[in-house]
Structures are given as structure tokens and as C-alpha cells.
Chains A and B, each alone.
Chain A
Amino acid sequence: MKKAFALLLALLMTAALLTACAEPAATVADLPEPALLVTDEVPEPEPEAEPVELIVFAAASMTEAMNEIAALYKDVAPDVTIVYNFDSSGTLKTQIEEGAECDLFISAGQKQMNQLDISADAAVNTDGLDFVLAGSRFDLVRNKVVMIVPEGTDLGITAFADVLGEGVRLIALGNSDVPAGQYAEEVYTSLGLWEELVASGKVSYGSNVKEVLEQVASAAVDCGVVYSTDAATASGVTVAAEAPEGSHGPIVYPAAVLNISKNQAAAEAFAEFLRSDACAAVFESIGFSIPERQNR
């Protein structure tokens, strides 16, 4: 009985192994080569011509937009599969630094991209990291920060400064490694309230902007500062206040192909697609704004 079971198990495992190895042969056979629209940019010349997998690291606030764009890109380049890693830009930058595989990086702040760009100011790129492919960096979209409250609550928050009032117990912000947290700090510093806010013990630090969003949506905190795009796409939150004019630097999301990319041409093709009108429409529908076209 035991022997029969062991034999059966062994047979099953061998069968599984064989089917796993057999797959690539099947997919290579039905690749429709001439029908591709981006033929000259996808690395087809390789003898095996496997489908390309692009790994894109993008700031958490881009989740909805990038997922829509991946669906659009499937029509443009069917053999390119996009794999996303959404997280705070600081976390992504650290992952890249520690050797993660990545073809394209979209950060929610210039700081994180600068820290990977050898051509950036050495004061920001203190470790002298060189991950950005020269000439591939561009500004993708712009965003704004807003103060959100859980839907249905009424604590009378109408401005950023109201957080220091009596009725507000907790405010969720991104930590100093999260661009959304950095912008929130800029807003409060420009209002002259940052030190007081930190000393009040009301701040709960989240490790990325989606965590902040979740804490507000589940009413675990009284309010939070996130991007206007997050507030627009999330349910369970309402925008209570917008950041005052000039209280923070322009929120620009830079994107760049990385020089460690194993699919450089495909990554550049995708980056080109991101600047197309189709994608601009997607970004604008979520609430991003498109910076003026720069020299490409």
C-alpha cells in the first residue's frame, strides 16, 4: 500500500515536471510575428522569441492608472506582459538599490529618482548610485495632495491647519521615506505647523500612501493626507481640504528606464507609449495632470 502510494506520487511529480517543461515549446509555435505593431522595438531577433515580460516599479498612487494602461498596452504589443510592483517610491528605490530586477521605474517624487540617477546632484544621490539609463528620464504626470476624512464623519475639518484642533485625535501621514509624507511635511512646514504637529503625538506614520488611504477609509484615523488621485479613486473617503497654493513644490512623477533592464528596447517602447495621448487620457481621468511636453 505504502509502496503503491509512493510510486503514484513519483509518477504525478514526473508528469508535472514534464508538462512544465513542455510549455515554452507550445507558446513559441503560435507567436504571430508580422502582426505586431511595435515590431522594430520588441526584441524579436532572439532565436527563441519568447514573450517579453516587463517589470515596472511604480509608486503606489499609480496603481489604478497603470493597471488600465497595461490593459491598453496589451492591444498595442500583445506579446509584452507587464508585471507591476506597486509600493512607496522610497521602498522601490531601496529594492532597486538592493538588486531587484526592474525595467522601468516611476517615482512619485524627484528625490527617489535622483537618488538612483548618477547625473543628479551629489547632495541627493549620496551613494553615487547609477541605475537610470541616460536620456530615458522624463516627467510623466503631476499630482496634488489633499486632506481626506472618512466618509460620513463630520469633525469640521476644512483646512490643513484644523488638524491641531481639539476634535482631531489622529492624522495619518506617509513617513519621511514616502513622497506623499514628504509633501505633507512641506505643506505643514510652509504653514509653520509641522513641529507642533509632530510634538502633539497625533501623527500615525504609514509606510506608503495606500496604507494611509486605508487607515482613513476604515476610520482608524480621523484624517489623512494623500494624493488627489487616491482620493478620487478610493471609496469611503471624502476630500476635506486641498493643499494651499504654493505650500509645496510641484508634485512631479518622473519615469525612467533603468540601465539594469534586461529588455531595454521593450522598456523604451513602453515608456514611449506612456507619453501617448491614449495614456494621457487615462491619467487625466484619474486626476493626474500632464506636464508640458519636454524635449524627448
Chain B
Amino acid sequence: MDWFPLWNSLRIAGISTLLSFFSGILLAYYVAKTPRIVKGVLDCLFTLPMVLPPTVVGFFLLRTIGAKGPIGAPLLRWFDLRLTMVWFSAIFATAIVTFPLMYRTARGAFEAFDENLAFAGQTLGLSNRYVFWRIRIPCCRQGILAGTVLAFARALGEYGATSMVAGYIPGRTATIATSVYQLWREGNDALAYRWVLINLAISFVVLVAVNLLEKRYRENKPARARAAKEPVC
């Protein structure tokens, strides 16, 4: 059995989750500090990919990074670098689609953060970076973790934009989602079922792991926080 789709799906989901994680958190932090109108506009812009149908996202991507697009054409001409129909094309699609999930949950977590803790840290002379990574983030851990899981799950299940931008090249750009579609189209139900079960298994494992993490965190919160010199929030 060709296991490539599994490896490809996991690496695409992993990389795009990583990208969304950092960009989502940082942007959520900065947007939370902007004035109201700017915040509203930026919010709309950053949440847009979540609301758009994946095929619309795929269409925009194709017209932009495709071989004849404003970004794709120069890269192809000068560096012989193709952005579509290669294994990392799907990362563009999934990163764009998962970013809003990370962004929104992180924003929600940051908005719920008690600013007094940050102020207290500042009165103690702690740097902004310390306040961010050692006070703010640990307190918003739940929201950020939830956002990460959602982003990973969404990236794993992304089909529409991926199929448009990366196509289906067995051994190169096939993901679990596109493979199941192709196998169904070819009438190979047995193999399609196998991939469906594999996908279910992965999703199940991820969710169970996250649940366990959450449970452990909640149970030992005060003691662990004190031991790690983090705020109890």
C-alpha cells in the first residue's frame, strides 16, 4: 500500500499548524492593542478565509501563485521555482484556511486575560518579552491549545483548496483527502475505506491526547504554576 498520502498529510498539517500558530498568536496580540476601528477591519480581514468556501481560496491562490500569476510567474521565470502542483503548494492553502481559527481563539484568550497580571509584572521590572512569554501566554494556554488543535484538524481535512492548488500527483502531492476522492472516483472503495479509517484514527488520537493534556493541566494547576514560577490565573 502506498503510504505517501499519510506522510504528506501529516507534514502539511504540521507545517501549516506551526505557521498558523506563530502568526495567529502574534497577530492576535498586536490586533488586540489597536484602536477599535482598525481592530474591526483587521478582524474581518483575518477571519475572512474561514468564512470563504475553500474553492474560493483555491481560486485566489491559483490566480496569484500560479504559473501565470503576479507572484508565480516571476518566481518561475527567475528561479525556476514552481509554487503550484508541488508538495508544499498545499501548505499555502492550509495555512491560509487554518490561520483564522488560530487567530480567533488566540484573540479570545488574550481578551480574557487579566491585564493586572501584566501590569504587576511591569511594576516588578520584568521585560515585555518576559511578560508576554512567561505571564500572558501561560495564562492563555487553554485557548491557544484549543486553537492549535482546531488548526491541525482543519489542515488535515482540507480538500477543496488543496485539490485546486496542488492537484493529485500520486507520490508527490497526494493527501489523504484527495486520495479518498480519487479512489472513490476510480471505484476503489476498499482502499478508500482504509484511508478513511486511518484518518479517523489520527483525528481520534489527536483529540484524546489533547483531552488528557487539558485534564492534567487543570488538575494540578495551582501547584504546577507555583513550581514553574508562573502566575496563577
Interface, chain A (partner B; CB < 8 A)? 90-91, 150, 169-170, 172, 175-177, 201-207, 215, 218-221
B35 within 8 A of A: no
Among listed B13-21, B39-47, B162-170, B197-205, interface-contacting one: B162-170
Determine how close the nearest CB of chain A comes to the CB of B38; give it in whole angstroms.
30
Question: C-beta contact mask, B63-89 vs A, less than 8 Å → 1, else 0?
Answer: 000111000000000000010110000
Pick the 9 closest A-B CB pairs, nearest first: A219-B67, A204-B167, A177-B185, A204-B169, A205-B168, A201-B171, A176-B186, A220-B84, A220-B85
Q: Which residue of B lies closest to A203 (CB)?
A: B169
Main secondary structure of the interface of A (DSSP, over half): loop
Question: C-beta contact mask, B93-115 vs A, less than 8 Å → 1, else 0?
Answer: 00000000000000000000000
- Contact between chains at B67 and A220 (CB < 8 Å): yes
* Cα of A127 to Cα of B186 in the assembled complex, Å: 15
Determine how close the nearest CB of chain A comes to the CB of B7; give it in whole angstroms.
15
- Contact between chains at A205 and B169 (CB < 8 Å): yes
A150-B67, A219-B67, A221-B167 provided; 12 other pairs, C-beta below 8 A? A91-B185, A177-B186, A177-B187, A201-B169, A201-B172, A204-B169, A204-B173, A207-B181, A207-B185, A215-B167, A220-B66, A220-B84
Q: Which residue of B lies closest to A205 (CB)?
A: B168
Main secondary structure of the interface of B (DSSP, over half): loop
Question: C-beta contact mask, B157-199 vs A, less than 8 Å → 1, else 0?
Answer: 0000000000111111100000001100111000000000000
* Cα of A172 to Cα of B84 in the assembled complex, Å: 13
Which residues B42-65 have CB closer than 8 A to chain A? 62
A218: chain B residues within 8 A (beta carbon): 62, 66-68
A204: chain B residues within 8 A (beta carbon): 85, 167-169, 173
A201: chain B residues within 8 A (beta carbon): 169-172
